């Protein structure tokens, strides 16, 4: 079973790096979707089946915290786990994200292994039946670029 | 610039360049004189501000060749695969990551909020003006000097 993954970040290069990191993690990917901000992400959610969202916090138009709130407000979307990949690294911001129900939190700068580990944890928790069909996570040393 | 801020700048910028771009920064303990400096022809400027009880902003000046090199390493492509647009975007993201990480350490309560970074190409550098700025920190790299200026 492959997962559809939505990557929301206003930096195109960062989105490319995150997608490459996910591809190399061994997680089976059906399709990637790109959004430059939270509002674009919501539009994609309205029209596509998404299994997990990887989002920045600090974005123009609509930031990641607001996106998380909107996802949680919507009955159709609240099943979708959201992982923040962000420079916002204060304890206060992470506490706020946890209160809003974020599934995972990765600080930039990140090691590829950190994203892989977080993604597997979140996917296994959210989609245990699917994850069991997926290949086991490769060893960390398989993540070299 | 106080010592805690200088050390945190060295740590956070060093971590971002090493972790994301496989590029090592060597902080300069003493500023060179204008006569000792060899400047590049083209630079990328990235700016990021933050607001809150103690607002401030950071300016980064990367030699164009450094901006291209870290973009190559970031994306895992060769030089032909890097556009100016991507180099500008990487410079913005560098400012975002380094200053976001820095604020996370200096402001654990999260009272300071980052703005969206901006970047632009520059012909040359106002070196005299920058050397006179008390918020300047310089780093040696394999692709020229990285200039970081703090205003707060």
The pLDDT tens digits for B65-78 are 999 999 999 999 99
- Least CB-CB distance to B116: which of A13, A58, A90? A58
- Least CB-CB distance to B93: which of A13, A90, A145? A13
In this prediction, what percent of chain A has a pLDDT beyond 90?
A: 81
CB within 8 Å: A87 and B92: no
Instruction: Starting at the earlier edge strand, list the strands of the sheet with A3-8.
Output: A29-35, A3-8, A52-55, A82-86, A104-107
Residue A132: the pLDDT is 52
Q: Mind listing the domains of chain A with CATH numbers?
A: 3-132 (3.40.50.2300)
ipTM: 0.90
pLDDT over threshold 70, residue B113: yes
For residue range A16-30, what is the model confidence (pLDDT) as tens digits? 999 999 999 999 999
Residue A129: the pLDDT is 56
Q: How many CB pairs under 8 A join A and B?
A: 80
Residue A130: the pLDDT is 54
pLDDT over threshold 60, residue A137: no
Write down the CATH number for the domain with range B3-26+39-151. Answer: 3.40.1550.10
Q: Where exactly are the structural domains of chain B?
A: 3-26+39-151
- Non-local CB neighbours of B34 within 8 Å, separated by 6+ positions: B127, B128, B131
Contact B98, B12 (CB under 8 A): yes
Categorize the per-residue pLDDT at A142 as very low, low, confident or very high, splitting at 50, 70 and 90. very low
Q: Residues for chain A: how many in total?
A: 145
Residue B15: the pLDDT is 96
Q: How far apart are CA B13 and CA A16, in angstroms?
A: 22
Q: A145 vs A120, which has greater pLDDT?
A: A120
- Across B25-45, average pLDDT: 93
Residue B57 contacts A, CB cutoff 8 Å:
no
pTM of the model: 0.90
pLDDT over threshold 80, residue A144: no
B13 min Cα distance to partner chain A (Å): 10
pLDDT over threshold 80, residue B103: yes
Residue B79: the pLDDT is 85
């Amino acid at each position: 079973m492959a997962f559809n993954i939505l990557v929301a970040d206003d930096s195109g290069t960062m989105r490319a790096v995150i997608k490459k990191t996910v591809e190399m993690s061994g997680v089976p990917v059906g399709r990637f979707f790109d959004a430059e901000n939270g509002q674009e992400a919501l539009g994609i959610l309205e029209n596509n089946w998404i299994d997990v969202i990887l989002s920045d916090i600090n974005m123009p138009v609509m930031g990641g915290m607001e996106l998380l709130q909107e996802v949680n407000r919507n009955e159709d979307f609240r099943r979708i786990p959201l992982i923040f990949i962000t420079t916002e690294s204060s304890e206060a911001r992470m506490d706020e994200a946890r209160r809003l129900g974020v599934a995972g939190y990765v600080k930039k700068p990140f090691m590829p292994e950190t994203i892989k580990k977080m993604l597997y944890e979140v996917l296994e928790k959210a989609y245990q039946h699917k994850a069991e069909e997926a290949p086991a996570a490769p060893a960390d040393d398989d993540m070299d670029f | 610039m106080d010592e805690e801020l200088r050390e945190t700048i060295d740590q956070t910028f060093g971590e971002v360049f090493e972790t994301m771009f496989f590029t090592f920064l060597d902080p300069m303990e003493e500023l060179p004189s204008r006569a000792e400096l060899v400047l590049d022809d083209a630079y990328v400027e990235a700016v990021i501000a933050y607001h809150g009880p103690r607002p401030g902003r950071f300016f980064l000046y990367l030699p164009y060749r450094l901006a291209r090199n870290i973009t190559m390493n970031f994306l895992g492509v060769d030089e032909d695969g890097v556009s100016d647009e991507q180099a500008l975007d990487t410079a913005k993201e560098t400012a975002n990551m380094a200053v976001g990480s820095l604020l996370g350490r200096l402001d654990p309560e999260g009272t300071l909020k980052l703005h969206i970074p901006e970047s632009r190409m520059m012909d040359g550098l106002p070196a005299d003006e920058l050397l006179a700025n008390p918020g300047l920190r310089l780093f040696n790299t394999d692709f020229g000097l990285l200039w970081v200026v703090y205003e707060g």
